[in-house]
Amino acid sequence: MIQVYCKNTGTTRSYREGTTLLDMLPDFEFERPYPIVSARVNNVSQGLKFKVYNSRTVEFCDATVPSGMRVYIRSLCFLMCKAAKDVFRGSHIFIEHPISHGYFCRLQKADGSFDINADDVARIKEKMAALVAKNQPYHRYEAPIEQVIELMRKSGAPDKVSLLETSGQVYMDYYALGKTKDYYYGRLVPSTGYLNVWDLRMYHGGMLLLGPNKHDPTRLAPYLDQPRTFDMFSENLKWNEIMGLRTVGELNQRLLDGEGSDLIQIAEALQEKKIVQIAEEIDRRYRGRDKVRLVLITGPSSSGKTTVSKRLSVQLKACGLRPLTFSTDDYFVDREKTPLLPDGTPDFDNFDTVDHDALERDLMKILAGEEVEVPEFNFTTGKREYNGRRYKLEPGNVVVLEGIHALNPKLTRHIAKRKKFRIFISTLTGIPLDNHNCLPTSDNRLLRRIIRDYNKGAFTARQTISQWPKVRAAEDKWIYPYQENADVMFNSAYLVEFAVLRNHAEPILASVPKNCPEYAEAHRLLKFIHYFVPVPDKEIPPTSLLREFVGGSSFKY
């Protein structure tokens, strides 16, 4: 007999070895506003069919928990792939990337075309609904890696073959839904009957798969049209095509073939080319009838705002302009005036953390040709200080303002729109593990932040991970609502980024204790980065955006 402690109830029960979590669940009575879809066993995410052979601590999760939502979405993706394969024999599904609170997918039919219509989508959707009504079970199997590779090869999945061949694993698991076999890098729900909240619709020549609302999984995630974000993803896919890469397996093979240096150089060149294009557009508008004088740069945490701002300033100088740069952080209110979160902790991401009235007043004076002393915030004393930094707009000058609230229209509401050029920096991972496993777009930024915080001695990995949900919630409230207002969007994700970050992140993540809740995320990230062949950062140039996080930058921060 084994002892299982349930964190949901604070009670312990005895079970025979090999009892599944699904069989244990009815024995623990606790409030369940939403259906349970997964569990954390000793702080590691597991499916409900997980068999327990030793005494463990268990926490059951619904889809409001990020690990639970990932299990749900993963299962939903397999459901769609199975339905598409059944309806269109010989077809292939490509789950490209997250967008519009869902996932953009393309269907390649047996004839090689990607042309689909509303009837095609309706047929797949009807088949998905039928599979849900049937409550068909997902079966998980574990086998030697060579056997799984051969199975994927026979299934016509070369993308999965290349991923698994470069994984370095001895054993690997895979899933089956009916006669359809597939590989997913995490656990699934027990059966299709769990998937009651979803939708599939036409979207930009492909399909959009929508799952549950992350705050209320009984409701559908709200659709949000994001044409500019979609265009940025499309541009990223073109970049990948230039580099001849589509999936992580292909990337790994190129790295194993010794092409890491070439890939890094191409990735750097593509980013620099984009920054040059942005600088040239600003220059055109500066000299045109718009007479742009204010460049606003924003993006979520660890998106690389500061480095992009510095590299853009260099390119603006190459265009003959002279940028005057500063940050919204310079206008933070004194620390004792910082707004508070409901739990009483400081809300440093709140719009009112910035003295926006003073900032806009100074901006308007500068744009009117007046000389203004611009403050600097002293993060040690928590006070705004004036140290003699003065700005006056002369011919050829353009003001560059960087910060998380830079695109909030309330910040510059009295400045004419035509005089502003707005840049939104995001970090949209554009390369999937394989055709059915796209990567969370926030994992780049979380790993960047963990590494930077640790190297600076600011926070441990455990502390950074514990703060991340609050950071993400603040981004949803204060940053992302304004991204589609940007004149241009810049994707700061780096194609070989995870391969470079792996060497830095592994020892830091491994330091997170197994007995704390943050270990669940640390374990997930460790497992995730192990899919990437590591690359030393010696080839990363000192002006690279990645240097902001791994160190060695020639810029001063």
Q: Which tens digits make up the pLDDT trace of 256-294?
A: 999 999 999 999 999 999 999 999 999 999 999 889 999
Give the CATH number for residue 47: 3.10.20.30
Give the CATH number for residue 368: 3.40.50.300
Is there a single domain that holds both residue 425 and residue 277? yes
Indicate whether 132 belongs to any domain.
yes
Residue where one domain finishes, among candidates 38, 62, 86: 62
Beta strands in 367-468 (DSSP E): 372-373, 376-378, 383-385, 390-391, 397-402, 420-426
- Judge whether 533 and 256 are in contact, CB under 8 Å: yes
Is there a single domain that holds both residue 199 and residue 268? no
Q: Which two tokens stand for residue 550?
A: 């791994």
Is there a single domain that holds both residue 529 and residue 394? yes
Backbone angles phi, psi at 57, to 5 degrees: -105, 130
Distances (CA, A) of 446 to 275, 469, 472, 524: 24, 10, 10, 12
Q: What is the 3-state secondary structure (H, E, C) of 458-485?
A: CCCHHHHHHHHHHHHHHHHHHCHHHHHH
Is there a single domain that holds both residue 14 and residue 76? no
CA atoms within 13 A on the CB side of 533: 20
Bridge partners, residue 490, by sequence: 425
Residue where one domain finishes, among candidates 44, 62, 80: 62
Indicate whether 367 belongs to any domain.
yes
Residue where one domain finishes, among candidates 197, 227, 257: 227
Q: Which tens digits make up the pLDDT trace of 172-219?
A: 999 999 999 999 999 999 999 999 999 999 999 999 999 999 999 999
Indicate whether 510 belongs to any domain.
yes
Is there a single domain that holds both residue 45 and residue 170? no
Question: Is pLDDT above 90 for 13?
Answer: yes
Task: Compare 557 and 94 and report the one with higher pLDDT.
Answer: 94
Is there a single domain that holds both residue 496 and residue 354? yes
Give the CATH number for residue 167: 3.30.980.10
Is there a single domain that holds both residue 211 and residue 233? no
Range of the domain at 350: 229-550
Indicate whether 219 belongs to any domain.
yes
Is there a single domain that holds both residue 317 and residue 342? yes
Is there a single domain that holds both residue 320 and residue 411? yes
Q: Residue 311 and residue 306: Cα distance in Å, rounded?
A: 9
Indicate whether 192 belongs to any domain.
yes
Q: What is the CA radius of gyration of the chain?
A: 25
Q: Residue 205 and residue 203: Cα distance in Å, rounded?
A: 6
Q: What is the pLDDT of residue 259?
A: 94
Alpha helices by DSSP H, 47-202? 66-87, 118-134, 145-154, 158-165
Is there a single domain that holds both residue 44 and residue 102? no
Q: Residue 106 and residue 97: Cα distance in Å, rounded?
A: 10
Using a cut of 0.85, tell me whether the model's pTM lies above it.
yes
Indicate whether 126 belongs to any domain.
yes
Question: Is pLDDT above 70 for 315?
Answer: yes
Distances (CA, A) of 252 to 48, 167, 182, 531: 32, 9, 20, 9
Q: Residue 318 and residue 283: Cα distance in Å, rounded?
A: 10
Alpha helices by DSSP H, 53-108? 66-87
Question: Is pLDDT above 90 for 382?
Answer: yes
Q: Residue 278 and residue 282: Cα distance in Å, rounded?
A: 6
pLDDT band at 430 (very low <50, low <70, confident <90, very high): low
Using DSSP, state whether 378 is helix, strand or coil. Answer: strand
Residue 288 CB burial class (10 angstroms; 0-12, 13-18, ≥19) = exposed
Give me the number of domains the chain comprises. Answer: 3
Q: What is the pLDDT of residue 557?
A: 83
Indicate whether 363 belongs to any domain.
yes
Is there a single domain that holds both residue 394 and residue 259? yes
Element (H, E) at 490: strand 488-491
Is there a single domain that holds both residue 222 and residue 233? no
Average pLDDT score over the chain: 95
Indicate whether 557 belongs to any domain.
no
